[in-house]
């Protein structure tokens, strides 16, 4: 039997979405807890949870995924002192694809999202703000490693603001598969109505098969990862607001946005905030609505990885936390009673 019955799991999660979450911190070994792994996506496949490193090659960081069996995580959820066994899976050929991006005058920054289907793994690639395009690439599991298909390099043009400029530090941060088609979500979706879209992509990564799928209602803050809630086109995503300063202020919403502005304010002024949102794909377009806030103690973590499991979900930060030294946190959150 699979690790969960998807329809039952989602029903339970939906019913209890607004309940107080019970948070289980997974005990991590030092090499997984290391902050510069910068895990930016989670995905469940092969009875394992995969943690995707950003693989910042420009910083001489290695390219890899980290995996852990779900059965081992079950033990860790029941016993906070238990440390699961994690395995590092090297990725080969990503440097070749990066060189091809450089040859196209685009500046690779790192991996941002992953989808795993059978033996194939797909990644979205973020580029530096001035670059015109992000990318989708894919590779294959073989033995204890992943080998990239260096012939596949799909360019995804970034949206631009009303002045024709790219949004600071934004790329296609979230990726998921619905009925054997990939959907890539741009990180910033607060353009005027009618200009927010999701990229629908054939698994062949054929540039002629990319579609713009409307996102009906504009979304504030950032969307940093999505996870499939069922096989009918429902996704759950992380909707994260970092209070930031300087160029990060682009993610702030105006006071006139009476639904979202108050979420970013407290007695001291601007604050960070994090919630889950529910996205529905229907009639060839996406819509979204708020789903459940994270516990306030976790609002200031830079959450970038999400995966539904049983009646809860795993969540991880890429690097940044309210306290230092920075470290990776892998949590399992389940609705309380």
Region 179-200 average pLDDT: 96
**Locate tokens 């050929």: which residue?**
93
Residue 182 has pLDDT above 50, yes or no: yes
First to last CA, the chain: 27
What's the Cα-to-Cα distance from 92 to each of 51, 145, 158, rounded to whole Å?
Answer: 17, 8, 27
Find out whether 173 and 112 touch, Cβ atoms under 8 Å: yes
pLDDT in tens, 76-111: 999 999 999 999 999 999 999 999 999 999 999 999
Region 187-200 average pLDDT: 95
63-94 burial, b at 16+ Cβ within 10 Å, e below that, comes to bbbbbbbbebbbebbeeeeeebebebbebebb
Find out whether 124 and 184 touch, Cβ atoms under 8 Å: yes
Residue 42 has pLDDT above 80, yes or no: yes
Q: Is the pLDDT higher at 10 or at 157?
A: 157
DSSP states along 124-182: EEEE-TT-SEEEEEEEEEETTEEEE-TT--EEEEPPB-TTSPBPTT--EEEEEEETTEE
Residue 124 has pLDDT above 90, yes or no: yes
pLDDT in tens, 148-165: 999 999 999 999 998 999
* Cα 249 to the center of its chain, rounded Å: 21
Find out whether 317 and 301 touch, Cβ atoms under 8 Å: yes
pLDDT averaged over the chain?
A: 93
Rg (CA), the chain: 19
**What's the pTM value of the predicted model, to 2 decimals?**
0.94
Q: Which domains does the chain have, with CATH numbers?
A: 6-335 (2.115.10)
Region 222-226 average pLDDT: 98
Give me the torsion for CA of 265, 327, 75, 68, rounded to 10°.
110
14 sits in which H/E element: helix 6-15
Structure tokens at 114: 């992953």
pLDDT in tens, 284-330: 999 999 999 999 999 999 999 999 999 999 999 999 999 999 999 99
Residue 13 has pLDDT above 60, yes or no: no
Residue 22 has pLDDT above 50, yes or no: yes
Q: What is the pLDDT of residue 3?
A: 43
Residue 44 has pLDDT above 80, yes or no: yes
Q: What is the pLDDT of residue 336?
A: 82
Residue 233 has pLDDT above 80, yes or no: yes
């Amino acid at each position: 039997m699979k690790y969960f019955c998807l329809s039952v799991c989602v029903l339970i999660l939906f019913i209890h979405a607004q309940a107080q979450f019970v948070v289980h911190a997974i005990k991590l070994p030092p090499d997984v807890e290391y902050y510069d792994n910068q895990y930016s996506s989670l995905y469940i496949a092969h009875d394992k949870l995969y943690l995707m490193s950003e693989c910042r090659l420009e910083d001489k960081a290695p390219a890899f995924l980290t995996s852990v069996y779900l059965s081992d995580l079950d033990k860790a959820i029941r016993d906070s002192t238990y440390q699961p066994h994690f395995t590092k899976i090297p990725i080969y050929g990503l440097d070749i694809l990066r060189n091809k991006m450089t040859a196209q005058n685009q500046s690779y920054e790192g991996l941002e999202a992953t989808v795993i289907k059978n033996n194939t793994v797909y990644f979205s690639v973020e580029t530096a703000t001035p670059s015109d395009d992000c990318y989708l690439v894919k590779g294959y599991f073989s033995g204890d490693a992943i080998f990239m298909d260096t012939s596949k390099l799909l360019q995804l043009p970034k949206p631009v603001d009303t002045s024709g400029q790219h949004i600071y530090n934004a790329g296609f941060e979230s990726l998921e598969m619905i009925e054997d088609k990939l959907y890539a979500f741009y990180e910033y979706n607060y353009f005027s109505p009618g200009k927010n879209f999701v990229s629908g992509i054939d698994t062949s990564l054929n540039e002629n098969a990319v579609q713009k799928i409307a996102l009906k209602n504009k979304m504030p803050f950032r969307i940093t990862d999505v996870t499939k809630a069922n096989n009918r086109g429902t996704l759950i995503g992380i909707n994260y607001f970092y209070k930031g300063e300087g160029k990060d202020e682009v993610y702030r919403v105006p006071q006139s946005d009476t639904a979202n502005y108050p979420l970013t304010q407290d007695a001291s002024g601007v604050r960070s905030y994090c919630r889950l949102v529910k996205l529905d794909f229907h009639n060839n377009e996406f819509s979204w609505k708020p789903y459940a806030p994270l516990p306030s103690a976790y609002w200031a973590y830079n959450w970038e990885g999400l995966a539904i499991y049983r009646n809860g979900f795993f969540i991880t930060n890429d690097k940044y936390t309210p306290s230092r030294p920075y470290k990776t946190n892998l949590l399992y959150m389940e609705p309380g009673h």
